């Protein structure tokens, strides 16, 4: 089972993915704080109103997320000698950063070091606080793909990362939310391709902090709610660590793929001035 937020003929819908079609769920317009996994499962399927995926515009996988929690340095090959850390590096994003899985990534005129970070995203489907690791999977609605686009020159202005991570209209999330029962991500490959060249390639076995560990850790200090998003980190190969460095520019095409979950492809566009 997989879900998608989409726009069709000027209206927003939440649908269940069936092959090349979407079947809208009665009374629901998108994933949000009130759309728990139980509510989605019980919603009536409007099969008579199904629409081809080719005719809709996919929206961000959780466009009204109350919390977007991101994890830094969570792949062994990317963290280098920090891989012995005992607590994950965490930082927030805001919903204003989120865009659809095929929307343009907007390059702001004040940053010259815009970087790519392909990631697996986890969407929460059940409210919880102080969730035990062995119960963490019960709180997952599903998985999707993201690109944690980062303005490195702004990120490095201080020891905090916030100012490099929360630029508007820069973080694609999608294409669908794939239920855990539908895919085994334990060894899933993850890759980022820039203009046809693979620039990141790894798999989920290299995560330092597992998804259950992240859910348990985060829920110690904040309540996780339906629609909340956890970006689980990016593998090695990001642009600013390359020699020479490689940053996104106007006209680039960047694709992030997670096996068993999906792919997102976005064109990079300079912000209109």
Task: Give me the pLDDT at residue 80, please.
Answer: 63
**Number of Cβ atoms within 10 Å of the Cβ of 160:** 10
Task: Evaluate if residue 131 carries a pLDDT over 90.
Answer: yes
Rg of the chain on CA atoms, in Å: 18
Which residues, in sequence order, are bridge partners of residue 257? Answer: 191, 263
The pLDDT tens digits for 200-217 are: 999 999 999 999 999 999
Instruction: Please check whether residue 155 is in contact with residue 241, taking contact to mean a CB–CB distance below 8 angstroms.
Output: no
Query: How would residue 164 be classed by pLDDT, with cut points 50, 70 and 90?
Result: very high
Task: Evaluate if residue 129 carries a pLDDT over 70.
Answer: yes
Instruction: Please check whether residue 170 is in contact with residue 99, taking contact to mean a CB–CB distance below 8 angstroms.
Output: yes
The pLDDT tens digits for 133-155 are: 999 999 999 999 999 999 999 99
Task: Give me the pLDDT at residue 166, please.
Answer: 95
Instruction: Please check whether residue 192 is in contact with residue 199, taking contact to mean a CB–CB distance below 8 angstroms.
Output: yes
**Number of Cβ atoms within 10 Å of the Cβ of 211:** 22
Task: Give me the pLDDT at residue 78, please.
Answer: 65
Residue 94 CA to residue 60 CA, distance in Å, equals 13
The pLDDT tens digits for 166-195 are: 999 999 999 999 999 999 999 999 999 999
Task: Give me the pLDDT at residue 77, please.
Answer: 76
Arithmetic mean of pLDDT, 234-242: 96
Instruction: Please check whether residue 31 is in contact with residue 39, taking contact to mean a CB–CB distance below 8 angstroms.
Output: no
State the greatest distance between any 2 C-alpha atoms of the chain, in Å, as a whole number. Answer: 56
Task: Evaluate if residue 20 carries a pLDDT over 80.
Answer: yes
Residue 93 CA to residue 73 CA, distance in Å, equals 16
pTM of the model: 0.96
Query: How would residue 35 be classed by pLDDT, with cut points 50, 70 and 90?
Result: very high
Closest Cα to residue 172, out of 110, 251, 250, 263? 263
Task: Give me the pLDDT at residue 196, please.
Answer: 97
The pLDDT tens digits for 55-92 are: 999 999 999 999 999 999 999 876 664 456 789 999 99
Task: Give me the pLDDT at residue 83, please.
Answer: 55
């Amino acid at each position: 089972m997989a879900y998608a937020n989409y726009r069709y003929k000027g209206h927003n819908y939440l649908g269940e993915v069936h092959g090349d079609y979407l079947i809208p769920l009665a009374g629901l317009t998108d994933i949000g704080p009130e759309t728990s996994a139980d509510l989605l499962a019980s919603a009536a399927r409007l099969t008579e109103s199904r629409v081809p995926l080719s005719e809709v515009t996919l929206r961000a996988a959780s466009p009204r997320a109350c919390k977007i929690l991101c994890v830094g340095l969570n792949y062994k090959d990317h963290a280098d000698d920090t891989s012995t850390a005992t607590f994950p590096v965490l930082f927030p994003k805001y919903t204003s950063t989120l865009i659809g899985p095929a929307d343009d990534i907007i390059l702001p005129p004040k940053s010259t070091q815009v970087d790519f970070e392909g990631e697996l995203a986890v969407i929460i489907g059940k409210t919880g606080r102080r969730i035990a690791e062995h119960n963490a999977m019960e709180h997952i609605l599903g998985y999707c793909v993201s690109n944690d686009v980062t303005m490195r020159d702004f990120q490095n202005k201080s020891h905090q990362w916030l100012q490099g991570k929360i630029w508007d209209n820069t973080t694609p999330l999608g294409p669908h939310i794939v239920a855990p029962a539908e895919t085994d991500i334990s060894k899933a490959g993850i890759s980022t391709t820039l203009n046809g060249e693979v620039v990141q390639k790894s798999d989920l076995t290299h995560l330092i902090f597992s998804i259950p560990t992240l859910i348990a850790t985060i829920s110690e200090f904040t309540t996780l709610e339906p629609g909340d998003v956890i970006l689980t980190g990016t593998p090695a190969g990001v642009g600013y660590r390359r020699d020479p460095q490689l940053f996104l520019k106007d006209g680039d095409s960047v694709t992030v793929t997670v096996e068993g979950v999906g792919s997102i492809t976005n064109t990079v566009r300079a912000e209109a001035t």
